[in-house]
Structure 1
């Protein structure tokens, strides 16, 4: 048996022994769908500096730049489809082995893989739509792009005049309280936490796997690179997520 086969077999055993698992995902699961990550040497932040939330609020020029970046990235985001890793996570939830997936991702691919919206806990929001920062009215990206192409900017909310922003959490913006509370509850109820494709450096989100381990859950980390929590984990696999998770739960495509 190869090392990879042994690792997958051990993960399969841990999933089978679990009563209630929780899956925690980061950018690495979506890079296999062609979506670039943020923090690698070739990632998004290596190409351009992030726009902080307070600067978005204060500067019309930076709001225009944020929307320009968003619309420029749309072809890549729209072309992306759930991969084998996403489908494996969806199967875990469908079969009742996991109650939810906690994700740092903003691409909506877990929902696209068939996971119901109420079982996806999005810690950093969702980039597939926008909302008013004051009244929370939802706006679709296509309509905003058409307005931006016509007028060179995205105007304020038609209901209250507030600023419109993608429904994501920017640097300097408060984390979504409801999602954080839901994530904590799921983590504390789990006896197995499976981390997929997270560098585990972005806090407070990255604190959840550590919380699970401290609460007595077994911890699995599947990531191409080492993470700071590897020494605490019960199983660490430095391989592709699709192959590992697909092999562990029997998803072959």
Structure 2
């Protein structure tokens, strides 16, 4: 299958949002075996912002990079101070109608697999316990020394003990779970080492500038290969981490349908594109489809 050149930005000539696009999603989900790739846009209705607005432009927030985190204790202190405050909002967030509709579609057999670029754990909270978290999860922590993993709640308790007088507040949580804090306040924050080896603790997520573990990437390719089609929900596909699965599906002749408010870098490869609020659209689709589809 011949593919157009990879666009450097949002597609300008691809399919546009329309009622026909939503009908295409319904048609896609009428059978079995659709793999879902979800992004930050699916979690905005749970109060977690995305990295880009409807225009596709990056918001002012600059996320922590892997290089900054490992390079200095100052960088790690800045991350953990801001994340310590932001984690409370992430921990309180609940799955929205979109997450619940995806799980309903999975239980019915229409959705065969869920791959998410999100680190908020909301697919799991909605019941999709086998969702592949491409970029990891904020509710887990890993030691860069001994590689031991532990729960974020355990670290949160330790950080509270170390920073009893810390009274950081943030106006809003960022997509990667931190908030903006004054530099003077960050300087007073004490970070916790690994309880086993004293090494550096890092959230078990893939930072910008870090690569997704190869076995996890291969697992996602295998899920896309086993699927009949790929449905993208709430992702701008700006980074190759998620876009590669759209390219792979298109190269192998599988339909690709994108539901996202705003342009995406995968629009040129989409069979159909629709721009609607995800919670309402997915709930309506799950209700209209209902039941278990017939076997192919």
* CA-based RMSD: 2.4
Map 1:1-253 to 2 at 5 A.
6-17=20-31, 19-40=32-53, 46-116=59-129, 119-151=130-162, 152-250=189-287
Q: What secondary structure is seen at the aligned counterpart in 1 of 2:231?
A: strand
Q: What secondary structure is seen at the aligned counterpart in 1 of 2:30?
A: helix
Q: What secondary structure is seen at the aligned counterpart in 2 of 1:210?
A: helix
User: Is the Cα contact below 8 Å between 1:84 and 1:251 reproduced in 2?
Assistant: no
Q: Deviations over 1:206-251 (max 9, x none)?
A: 2111211211111110000011222321111011111221111218
Residues 251, 144 of structure 1: CA spacing in aligned structure 2 closer, same or farther, 3 A cutoff? farther
Q: What secondary structure is seen at the aligned counterpart in 2 of 1:204?
A: helix
Q: Deviations over 1:136-178 (max 9, x none)?
A: 3223323323333443323322222321111111122221222
- Stretches of structure 2 that go unaligned for 5 or more consecutive residues are 1-16, 163-188, 290-296
User: Is the Cα contact below 8 Å between 1:190 and 1:212 reproduced in 2?
Assistant: no
The corresponding residue for 2:182 is none
Provide the rounded CA distance (Å) in 2 between the counterparts of 1:49 and 1:9.
Answer: 37
Q: What secondary structure is seen at the aligned counterpart in 1 of 2:43?
A: helix
Higher Rg of the two aligned structures:
2
User: Is the Cα contact below 8 Å between 1:200 and 1:229 reproduced in 2?
Assistant: yes
Q: Which has the higher contact order (CA 8 A, sep 6+)?
A: 2
TM-score (norm 2): 0.76
- Stretches of structure 1 that go unaligned for 5 or more consecutive residues are none
Provide the rounded CA distance (Å) in 1 between the counterparts of 2:252 and 2:55.
Answer: 36
When the two structures are aligned, how many residues end up with a matched partner? 246
When you count helix as a share of all residues, which structure comes out higher?
Answer: 1
User: Is the Cα contact below 8 Å between 2:139 and 2:153 reproduced in 1?
Assistant: no
Q: Deviations over 1:194-215 (max 9, x none)?
A: 0000001111322111211211
